[in-house]
Amino acid sequence: MNTNDHGGAGGSAGTGLDTLDVAAGQDWMTAVAATVSAHKDELTELDAAIGDADHGANLQRGFTAVTAALSGGFEPETVGQLLTKVGMTLISSVGGASGPLFGSAFRAMGKQLATPEADADQLALALRAGLDSVRALGAAAAGDKTMVDALTPAVKAFDDAVAAGLGLVVAARAAADAADEGARATVPMQARKGRASYLGERSIGHQDPGATSTALIFAALAETTARAR
């Protein structure tokens, strides 16, 4: 599955966002909810092959809950409050492995962003914190065939782009591409974490569902930031 089907959006630095404010953060979540719904069956099928066929339903349930939580009169003042709410909502609605993992990633990001408007540097730090929290919680290393294999290169690509002064739009695009590549790179891996690890060698040859949904989340970020407001 090519998770980069984000429909246009070149990402040339000139047209998109320089920062992620609360409204853009909400747009990002709306985009995630949409792409997760659109890819629900594909995520489920990936999970059916090496897991328990619920990843699509899990994330759809989670981001539907997120959409509801963000729309119901909730008016966060900072991006951090927004993302913390996203994390809490995922934790309280998804279940499974991905609920706590994605949930704590968003919570960890939220903690870093006590600002109404996050610039690329702040986002880079936040993404790094998100990755760290997934690794701390799930204890997966790179190459274990989990979401970490999409998250790690995505965060690095974002970092590198920001360090090179390329700005949010390019960084987000680079992260999305790296996440997608990372997800596809899980195909030949033998799983060492999560349910797929039970299959031993039989996990080889399948793309990890959590890495795939991670790439969707980054694709949605790239799409959101690239869009002119």
Ligand X SMILES: Nc1ncnc2c1ncn2[C@@H]1O[C@H](COP(=O)(O)OP(=O)(O)O)[C@@H](O)[C@H]1O
Count Cβ atoms within 10 A of the Cβ of residue 110 and give its class: 0-12 exposed, 13-18 middle, 19 or more buried.
buried
Point out which residues pair with 119 in neighbouring strands: 19
Q: Between 6 and 145, whose beta carbon lies closer to ligand X? A: 145
Q: Between 86 and 226, whose beta carbon lies closer to ligand X? A: 86
Determine the distance from the C-alpha atom of residue 113 to the mean position of all C-alpha atoms in its chain, rounded to a whole number.
17
- Give the one residue of 3, 4, 26, 98 binding another protein; rule: CB under 8 A: 98
Cα angle 210-102-170, degrees, rounded to a multiple of 5: 80
Q: How many of the other CB atoms lie within 10 Å of CB of 53?
A: 15
**Rounded least distance, CB 101 to another protein, Å:** 7
Binding residues for another protein restricted to 25-84, rule: CB under 8 A? 44, 48-54, 56-58, 61
Query: Quick one: which H or E segment has residue 118?
Result: strand 117-119
**Rounded least distance, CB 120 to another protein, Å:** 31
Q: What is the dihedral of CA 68, 72, 77, 83, to 10 degrees?
A: -10
**Rounded least distance, CB 194 to Mg ion, Å:** 8
159 counts as binding ligand X under rule CB under 6 A:
no
Site of tokens 């797929």:
196
Determine the distance from the C-alpha atom of residue 93 to the mean position of all C-alpha atoms in its chain, rounded to a whole number.
17
Q: Residue 208 touches which of another protein, ligand X, Mg ion, none (CB < 5 to 8 A by kind)?
A: ligand X
Contacts with ligand X: how many residues (CB under 6 A)? 24
Binding residues for ligand X restricted to 49-88, rule: CB under 6 A? 51-52, 54-55, 58
Of the candidate spans 23-31, 99-107, 119-127, 172-180, the one that interacts with another protein by CB under 8 A turns out to be 99-107
DSSP structural state of residue 195: G
Considering only CA atoms, which of 138, 60, 57, 76 is closest in space to residue 104? Answer: 138
- Give the one residue of 80, 103, 153, 210 binding ligand X; rule: CB under 6 A: 210
Give the C-alpha separation, 49 to 41, whole Å. Answer: 12
- Which positions lie near Mg ion, rule CB under 5 A? 47, 51-52, 54-55, 96
Contacts with another protein: how many residues (CB under 8 A)? 36
Interface ranges with ligand X (CB under 6 A): 47, 51-52, 54-55, 58, 96-98, 101, 134, 138-140, 146-148, 193-195, 208-211
Contact positions vs another protein (CB under 8 A): 44, 48-54, 56-58, 61, 91-101, 137-138, 144, 192-200, 202
